[in-house]
Amino acid sequence: TRLFIMRYKVVYPEVQVSFFGDTRFFIWRYKDLYSEIQGSLFGDPRIFIRRSKVLYAEIQGSLFRDTRFFIQRYKVLYSEIQGSLFRDTRFFIQRYKDLYSEIQGS
């Protein structure tokens, strides 16, 4: 899990910066991820997994054991991203910090 956590910590500072600063910076960095998640929900989830196969492999190997559970968890993340893009970003960022803590402890 160390490799996954190490790569994830590259993302975490962006959450921290946006949490204490401008949330637009955080959203801007996640537009590509948002597009891929959106494509997987309205198309084939395997497309998203294929594009993010490195991240998927790390998640599958360290935190999630079942592909279906991984997709289910990402649908929750997608809902929070969608909500943050059009409503309040603070709610999504708070939930993302919880996800970070969960991954760090795994």
What are the pLDDT digits (tens) for 13-30? 444 444 334 444 444 445
For the entire predicted model, the pTM comes to: 0.19
Structural domain boundaries in the chain? 2-105
Structure tokens at 101: 């803590």
HSE-CB of 44 using CA atoms within 13 angstroms = 4
Structure tokens at 20: 């204490």
What are the pLDDT digits (tens) for 30-83? 555 545 444 444 445 555 445 455 454 544 444 444 455 545 555 555 555 555
